[in-house]
Chains A and B, each alone.
Chain A
Amino acid sequence: DAGVTQSPTHLIKTRGQQVTLRCSPKSGHDTVSWYQQALGQGPQFIFQYYEEEERQRGNFPDRFSGHQFPNYSSELNVNALLLGDSALYLCASTSPRGEGYEQYFGPGTRLTVT
């Protein structure tokens, strides 16, 4: 059983560009959350998708947007990249059925903005 997968592993972009990151949830999971982890800090919640709708959102600007597809996979889009967007972006998925609220994390996408 594959866990949460993310692509690409690493990405280098220039300030002002746009980027799309992808996530496939663990089999059987229908809810996907995205987190940003800046260097030396704990992950910060960006938003969460369920049934193809954004259900919760953290304190991130509208430049950060997302999408969930019918197969539960998800994309994170960031427009007008800033140097401060350089971080590890983590995707997490969770099960709707009694797993004690555990979220399973993918290995992350390392985004560098130059």
Chain B
Amino acid sequence: AQSVTQLDSHVSVSEGTPVLLRCNYSSSYSPSLFWYVQHPNKGLQLLLKYTSAATLVKGINGFEAEFKKSETSFHLTKPSAHMSDAAEYFCVVSGGSGGYNKLIFGAGTRLAVHP
């Protein structure tokens, strides 16, 4: 079975400092992994995705994630936080091979950005 664990429920950073949101995954085969962002009262937006191509994945708004099989991790980073990055972030694994399978979400990490 597939699962994801987001290691921090809340992360607080100052504007202009780096962001690190941590995610570990469990999968019985090569996974497809995603990071989604959810702003208050908004839908889910895909930040980036890993589907067995390059292990360093670049996404929108300056976010990156690195797939590390040996550590079963898929941490999300950004060099410099912006106030508009404050939101809920979800690490997600696809529950099976192929594009038609269910998404399994982590519990979420709430990112706060302070001036």
Residues of A that sit less than 8 Å from B by CB:
4, 31, 33, 35, 40-45, 48, 50, 55-56, 58, 90, 92, 94-96, 99-108
Whose C-beta in chain B lies nearest to the C-beta of A98?
B99
Residues of B that sit less than 8 Å from A by CB:
32, 34, 36, 42-46, 49, 51, 90, 94-95, 98-108
Interface of B is mostly: loop
Question: Measured between alpha carbons, how far is A90 from B43 in the docked complex, in Å?
Answer: 8
Residue in B49, B101, B104 with the greatest tally of chain A CB atoms within 10 Å: B101
Q: Are B102 and A42 in contact (CB under 8 A)?
A: no
CB-contact partner of B46 in A40, A56, A58, A102, under 8 A: A102
Q: Given known contacts A42-B108, A106-B43, is B99 in contact with A101 (CB within 8 Å)?
A: yes
Which residues of B sit under 8 angstroms from A31, Cβ to Cβ?
100
Q: Given known contacts A33-B102, A45-B95, A101-B98, is B107 in contact with A108 (CB within 8 Å)?
A: no
Q: Are B51 and A101 in contact (CB under 8 A)?
A: yes
Question: Measured between alpha carbons, how far is A47 from B46 in the docked complex, in Å?
Answer: 20
CB-contact partner of A101 in B32, B45, B105, under 8 A: B32
